[in-house]
Chains A and B, each alone.
Chain A
Amino acid sequence: MTLIAQYFVTGIVTGCFLILATIGFSLTRRVEGFLNIAHAELLGVSAFVTWGLNVKMGWPFLPAGLFAIVFTAFFGLIVGRIVYDPIRKLGPAVLLISSVGVAYVIGGSVDALVGTGIRSLNIPLATTYRFFGVRITDYQMIVVALAALTGLSLAIFMTKTKTGLAIRAMSDNPGLAASRGVDVQQTSRATWLLASGLAGLAGVMLALIATLSTDIAFHQILQILAVAILAGLGSLYSVLLAGLIVGVAMDMSVYFIPAGYRPLIAFAVVIIVLFLRPEGLSGRKSK
């Protein structure tokens, strides 16, 4: 029983990480209207910037992580401006295929700069706490807290601030938003910054709770896709629930089937959802 509870708690942590990783992806899908396969590579960029500053340059973890988030945000913005903006008129399929090329370029660059091998940050070992026999480390708690905080602040940002409102207006009807005086260019830039910054945050969390290798980014995109589809492509709040479902399902599956099939659960989710309810949890019809 304790073992199941343990898997459940680990699943929640995985789920919270997936929420952080997916929100930016869904935001891009909603505002820019395409699936950015290269989103996961941004997690890799951020994780390895953190690693480089922390281990190679000897920075403490916190400034290294903060710098990585800001760096990734602007990096994502630049990629969006240079690569995606000029081809937007060619439609979502071309953008999707292009983003595979972007993923190749970013992934290859990280490979060339960092090299293969397994790495971890230069931080104190995680302290483990026990609650009723269930273990959780302090780093895992940080991930959960940050996911909750991000969900909350995103909700406030989207409903209360002018930029947030502009993003929502633009995602629903770009033409109408533009004619009502929303600065489309600027809103698009804000979206890229926000989405990439969130990827940066997820990347720092990844560096915190996992060991790093350069193929790590590719494994994340599979799970991000699963969460985004379960949530309904482009919806934001249902990402919170979908992330938890996929995370818990993946980690609890280890109790019943061989651990090698754990990534498969994410894909089983994709296939089942697309057959039964292609619009996802949110019920929003995709455009």
Chain B
Amino acid sequence: MNIEQLVLTVLTYGCLYGVMTVSLNLQYARGGMINFGTVAYFAAGAYAYAIFTQEPPSGLDQYAFGFNAPWWIGVLAAGVASLLFAIITGWPTLRLRGEYLALTTFAFAEVFHSFLLNERRIGNGSVGLSNVNRPDFSVIGLEDKYAFATAAVVLLLLTALLCRRVLASPYGRAIDAIRDDEIAAETVGKDIKRMRFQVFVLSSVPIGFAGALYAMITTLVSPNLFTAEVTFFVWIALVLGGEHTIKGVVLGTIALVTFEEVVRSFHFETVRAAEIAASVEHIMTGAIFIMILRWQPFDRIKKKRAAA
């Protein structure tokens, strides 16, 4: 097992998924909104980046647009795409609560996935877009793998800072107030509908950036990279990290990514053995998830600390 490679992979993907968990944390733990369609915003970002930086279609390509733009325009487009998608999906759904919101966002993500799969003009359908452009890091003398790890860390730090800044402000306290007691918050003149919408839209922008970075790293976007599994993965990471603090959810994500990468880095003699290992990884992830929700160890630690 190559330790350096493992650390780099964990750092890159851990921070990448960490961006999503931190955003989701803002939506769920602070805004009280269950978003079960996280992957759609991620995919929107990745596809926007790929479409904007891709060369115009030629030969067997079936996609309709490729703007051949520089990478930073692609990244901006990714943020905007995610923002727009959040506006489109958030505006009608946010009046729904709890499980209904979870189901609608889930439904939207599935619809989006189905469009990516079936509408070949977006991104070649199930084939996806390959050879996605990467920014050239040789200018600043960094190897690609270090550069992407750095980029992921920076993106995560920026997201975390933004979240902290927002939550520490009076605006953040208003958000908390709405989550704790909507009627009381409304009585003191907070526009609940608008604030929920703002939080929802704002928190989806970093997810779009993460999508762009993901497309750069894998140099491929295809529908089967963006399934509901990603959403569930982020949710499990969120719960694993104890739900409420930014530090907690980031640690949770990195722990989960580490766990998966370690399982994957073993070498298996047969296909069947690898298959079983993948299933066992699923079983263990699910089991840990159930146990954390049941015994809530993080809340207990927090309470103990508060008591001491």
Contacts and interface: CB of A to CB of B under 8 A. Distances in A.
Interface string A249-287: 000000000101101100110110011001000000000
A248 B201 CA distance: 36
B158 to A, nearest CB: 28
A98 B93 CA distance: 23
A268 to B, nearest CB: 7
Given A109-B279, A225-B103, A98 B290 contact: yes
Contact of B104 (A93, A103, A270): A270
A88 to B, nearest CB: 11
A263 B114 contact: yes
A115 interface: yes
B92, B106, B118, B290 pick with most chain A CB within 10 angstroms: B290
B118 A108 contact: no
Contacts of B114: 260-261, 263-264, 267
A92 B290 contact: no
A21 interface: no
Interface in B173-212: none
B275 interface: yes
Contact of A271 (B98, B111, B117): B111
A19 to B, nearest CB: 19
Contacts of A116: 275
A131 B118 CA distance: 34
A242 B34 CA distance: 26
A87 B293 contact: yes
Given A229-B103, A278-B100, A260 B117 contact: yes
Contact of B232 (A90, A98, A100, A263): A100
B107 interface: yes
A232 B177 CA distance: 31
Interface size classification for chain A: 35 or more
Contact of B110 (A96, A112, A267): A267
Contacts of A90: 293
B92 A275 contact: yes
A157 interface: no
Contacts of A105: 282-283, 286-287, 290
B107 A35 contact: no
A92 B282 contact: no
**Interface extent on B, as a size class?**
35 or more
B289 A270 contact: no
Contacts of B110: 222, 263-264, 267
A86 interface: yes
B275 A115 contact: yes
Nearest to B231: A100
Contact of A274 (B96, B228, B283): B96
A274 B98 contact: no
B92 A260 contact: no
Contact of A258 (B34, B102, B118): B118
Interface string B84-104: 000000001100101110111
Nearest to A274: B104
Interface in B281-305: 281-283, 285-287, 289-290, 293-294
Interface string B245-276: 00000000000000000000000000010011
Interface in A100-117: 100-105, 107-109, 111-112, 115-116
Contacts of B100: 274, 278
B213 interface: no
B282 A108 contact: yes
A178 interface: no
Interface of B: 34, 92-93, 96, 98-100, 102-104, 106-108, 110-111, 114-115, 117-118, 228, 232, 235-236, 239, 272, 275-276, 278-283, 285-287, 289-290, 293-294
7 contacts: A35-B102, A98-B289, A100-B235, A101-B236, A101-B290, A105-B287, A225-B107
